[in-house]
Amino acid sequence: MQCRRCGKELGNSMRCTFCGYVNTEGNVREMTRTEKNFFNGVTIDADSTDGQGREEAFREQRKAQDTTRRTYINYGTSNIFSRLISSFIRALINGSRLAQIAAILIGVAFAALMFFIALPILFVLLAIGLALVVLAKISR
């Protein structure tokens, strides 16, 4: 580790032998596996022998594994309903298992809403319309 004030090598001590600066940051330690997974910055890999960092190796491995290519096309619609429908379809096709289950449950709930609420209302309106037509023919 280097001294923050003069740049000389500190070694294992916390105090610089050249300028007397005391390092208050503490010792450098290797990150845990959880910290490595959630850290997005640049790190020095302790077990890297070829000079390539773990993050770069992970990116290359991810590129090699990712054989599917997703393309999202925006047709310029800003309608909230079209966005909801497209995200619903995207969840069904490309989503995780939980997203697919949620999309299916939402679809079933919407179908039940249409069947048990909208369809009876439509039948009532149709019956009222037919009754008005019959009353109009009778009153002539």
Per-residue pLDDT of 19-57, as tens digits, reads 877 776 655 567 777 777 777 666 665 555 554 556 677
Q: What integer pLDDT is reported at residue 70 of this predicted model?
A: 64
Q: What integer pLDDT is reported at residue 95 of this predicted model?
A: 81
Q: What integer pLDDT is reported at residue 100 of this predicted model?
A: 85
Which residue is listed with tokens 């050249």? Answer: 18
DSSP 40-103: -S----TT-SSS--HHHHHHHHHHHH----------S---HHHHHHHHHHHHHHHS-HHHHHHH
26's tokens = 């503490």
Model confidence pLDDT, tens digit, residues 55-67: 677 677 666 666 6
Band of residue 127 on the pLDDT scale cut at 50, 70, 90 = very high
Q: What integer pLDDT is reported at residue 42 of this predicted model?
A: 64
